[in-house]
Amino acid sequence: MSYVFVNDSSQTNVPLLQACIDGDFNYSKRLLESGFDPNIRDSRGRTGLHLAAARGNVDICQLLHKFGADLLATDYQGNTALHLCGHVDTIQFLVSNGLKIDICNHQGATPLVLAKRRGVNKDVIRLLESLEEQEVKGFNRGTHSKLETMQTAESESAMESHSLLNPNLQQGEGVLSSFRTTWQEFVEDLGFWRVLLLIFVIALLSLGIAYYA
């Protein structure tokens, strides 16, 4: 079943495009191997990929892609091959190779909008709706992740700026940390009770010196 617009001609004087319309895989392959441009267009700006996708010829779409066809090519109305497509396997191929499901043509219509206008089967509509939903969820997750990254970067930058603006504070913290480490090592080496006795002796000596001074 073809999903090219009703008033489109099914004949062209470009051999490769005609082969894409006819679904002639072998002839398409021979033409491409002989050097035909995989991105050649018809009078409406459509490439062989547009025409093959419109008729569900996924094998020819794959062949064109292999020979360098531009999957992002648009016709003169801004339609990608996905806008003209109405077949599950062809849609899956195009999307899996990078075509965005929510891309709009010059009239602001997405592939899903055009598919509904053409009355394609329900399986295709469900697939397009599912792919659009996945695209939206992926965008939301990506946006949330970017916001978290930006907030973390801003927080780290603020802390770094605070340290640069307060070098004395940073130096004081370093001295305090060093003293704590040294004190802990001293207590561990000498023993807690010996340290306590030493402190007591020093305190008595201090009192004696103060008394006789």
Same-domain check for residues 23 and 99: yes
Q: Which of 92, 125, 158 is the last residue of a domain?
A: 125
Is residue 155 domain-resident? Answer: no
Q: Which domain holds residue 94?
A: 15-125
Residue 160 pLDDT more than 50?
yes
Residue 159 pLDDT more than 90?
no
Provide, rounded to the nearest whole percent, the portion of the chain with pLDDT above 90: 52
Alpha-carbon distance 23 to 55, whole Å?
8
> Residue 83: which CATH number?
1.25.40.20
Q: How is residue 81 written in tokens?
A: 């091959």
Alpha-carbon distance 152 to 140, whole Å?
18
Is residue 194 domain-resident? Answer: yes
Nearest to 73 by CA among 119, 36, 42: 42
Tally the domains of the chain: 2
Same-domain check for residues 109 and 205: no
Residue type, 121: N
Is residue 75 domain-resident? Answer: yes
Is residue 140 domain-resident? Answer: no
Confidence (pLDDT) at 134: 86
Same-domain check for residues 92 and 191: no
Q: Which of 125, 156, 181 is the last residue of a domain?
A: 125
Confidence (pLDDT) at 4: 41
Is residue 144 domain-resident? Answer: no
Overall pTM surpassing 0.75 (yes/no): no
Same-domain check for residues 20 and 107: yes
Is residue 51 domain-resident? Answer: yes
Is residue 154 domain-resident? Answer: no
Residue 69 pLDDT more than 60?
yes
Alpha-carbon distance 57 to 117, whole Å?
21
Is residue 163 domain-resident? Answer: no
Residue type, 77: Q
